[in-house]
Chain A
Amino acid sequence: MILRQLANSVDAVGAIDWDRRLFDELIPLPDGTTYNAYLIRGSTKTALIDTVDPAKEKELFDNLEKAPIERIDFVIPNHAEQDHSGSIGSVLKRYPEARVVTNPKCKNMLIDHLHIPSDKFIEVNDSDTVSLGDKTLEFIIAPWVHWPETMFTYLREDEILFSCDLFGSHLATSDLYAHNQARVYEAAKRYYAEIMMPFRPSIKKHLEKLKNYAISTIAPSHGPVHDKPAFIMDAYRDWISDQVKNEVIIPYVSMHGSTQALVDYFVDALMQRNITVQPFNLTKTDIGELAMALVDAATIVIASPTVLVGPHPAVVYATYLTNALRPKLKFASIIGSYGWGSKMVEHITAMLGNVKVDIIPPVVIKGYPQSKDYESLNKLADEVLARHQSMNIIPGR
């Protein structure tokens, strides 16, 4: 790759991973990703902010050679996760004079995960600064976006916020900047949904704190750089707000058609009531799309057949993820069917402890649906509408 300049003596030196399709062996990456690292050459010292995934180490070193630089004084990990920190060991080998500048929590994690010797570190705390001569780096401790040790680095003279994973996106692109806003919005929302959503209260605090800083550029650790910070900050303010939308999402599986018939009918019933609805057939669902839908939805209706007394395992998986992501859902219900007996409702309800939802009485039927069952779904749709009306989220006509 080539070096790309963000400001005078500030260059992006990371790598584009066009081919990666899965992260954490969990999250689909339909658009690949990037591992962003930034080189800042001050008049007296040189700093490297974050590194890259070890798989892309060679690209980082090629870029550093192209810079060219003779030494690195400070390596600054904003986050200890290996896709950013994983090449620190190699950087220290190649630039033995470098010291790792980070907060105590991140230091301990890097010692645990990467076995970096403790004498390589310089510890910093909130609002501490490091001078590179004509450039000053300030550290902003920002825990829980998305690990306990995360922090931001702020380059005062150029007003650049290096925000690590916050404001990032898994998007492999040759564009340095997020000028294709439609594309970046989708990728950033997906990233927020998969990684950041459980930490809404922490993000709220950090956004508040960042109001004290003049920020011209946000340079995250994945995806394009934001030279119009308001675009991504406004998007985040919308996503983390307590406001839910007039939307129902229906993760479901059907084995022999009964649950499918219920879901099809229920989708129509919600559409007739002008409620936005999105079914997710879990045998075909990209889990990231389900997570994205959870960002705004007021209501989830989980639909499942009965397998060995409980819900279908694919539904268990989706329910577990929903609960772990802690979306701002307000209401939940369950629909589905069984052949002779079912404990599905109890199992699913027990898995939703993290989300503070009111459970609307479920519709779980025996066998293939008949007219009285469709009537029950009409009532459930009426109930969802009434709940949404009570939240004042039905758009005016």
Chain B
Amino acid sequence: MAKYVCTVCGYVYDPRKGDPDSGVEPGTAFEQIPDDWVCPVCGAGKDQFEKEA
């Protein structure tokens, strides 16, 4: 599963870790995260993320 980078602040979403604080379980692929999820560091929307090169 690919990591995704927030283009606003540089936070990296790692699917192995998920984002438990926002209710995203470890092991959740970026594509499976609900559309209303936002970057836990800066609040940018999911559409501001890019696949890590």
Q: Is chain B's binding surface mostly helix, strand, loop or mixed? A: loop
User: Nearest chain A CB to B16's CB is how many angstroms away?
Assistant: 22
Are B7 and A144 interface neighbours, CB within 8 A? no
Pick from B8, B36, B38: contact of A326, CB under 8 Å: B8
How far is A218 from B2 in the complex, measured between Cα atoms in Å? 43
Are A148 and B43 interface neighbours, CB within 8 A? yes
Pick from A143, A198, A201, A353: contact of B7, CB under 8 Å: A353
- In the complex, A61 has a CB within 8 A of chain B: no
3 pairs of A and B residues whose beta carbons are closest in the complex = A144-B43, A201-B45, A354-B8
Q: A326 to chain B: which residues have CB within 8 Å?
A: 8, 44
Pick from A148, A199, A205, A353: contact of B36, CB under 8 Å: A205
User: Nearest chain A CB to B32's CB is how many angstroms away?
Assistant: 19
Are B7 and A354 interface neighbours, CB within 8 A? yes
- In the complex, A136 has a CB within 8 A of chain B: no
Contact residues on A (Cβ < 8 Å of other chain), bracket = 10 to 19
- The contact sample of 24 A-B pairs, CB cut-off 8 A, is A105-B21, A143-B38, A143-B43, A144-B38, A144-B43, A146-B43, A148-B40, A148-B43, A198-B42, A198-B43, A199-B43, A201-B38, A201-B45, A202-B38, A202-B43, A205-B36, A326-B8, A326-B44, A353-B7, A353-B8, A354-B7, A354-B8, A354-B44, A354-B48
User: Nearest chain B CB to A205's CB is how many angstroms away?
Assistant: 6
How far is A199 from B44 in the complex, measured between Cα atoms in Å? 7
Q: Quick one: which of A146-203 are within 8 Å of B by CB?
A: 146, 148, 198-199, 201-202
| Residues of B in contact, count (CB < 8 Å) | 11
Residues of A within 8 A of B (CB): 105, 143-144, 146, 148, 198-199, 201-202, 205, 326, 353-354
How far is A202 from B38 in the complex, measured between Cα atoms in Å? 8
How far is A198 from B7 in the complex, measured between Cα atoms in Å? 14
Q: A148 to chain B: which residues have CB within 8 Å?
A: 40, 43
Q: A199 to chain B: which residues have CB within 8 Å?
A: 43
Among B8, B42, B43, B45, find the residue whose CB has the most chain A CB atoms closer than 10 A: B43
User: Nearest chain A CB to B44's CB is how many angstroms away?
Assistant: 8
Q: Quick one: which of B2-45 are within 8 Å of A by CB?
A: 7-8, 21, 36, 38, 40, 42-45
How far is A201 from B48 in the complex, measured between Cα atoms in Å? 11
Q: B45 to chain A: which residues have CB within 8 Å?
A: 201
How far is A22 from B36 in the complex, measured between Cα atoms in Å? 34
User: Nearest chain A CB to B35's CB is how many angstroms away?
Assistant: 10
How far is A326 from B38 in the complex, measured between Cα atoms in Å? 15
Q: B40 to chain A: which residues have CB within 8 Å?
A: 148
Q: B44 to chain A: which residues have CB within 8 Å?
A: 326, 354
How far is A199 from B45 in the complex, measured between Cα atoms in Å? 9
User: Nearest chain B CB to A195's CB is how many angstroms away?
Assistant: 12
In the complex, what residue of chain B is closest to A108 when comparing beta carbons? B21
In the complex, what residue of chain B is closest to A356 when comparing beta carbons? B48
In the complex, what residue of chain A is closest to B47 when comparing beta carbons? A201
User: Nearest chain B CB to A337's CB is how many angstroms away?
Assistant: 32
How far is A105 from B22 in the complex, measured between Cα atoms in Å? 10
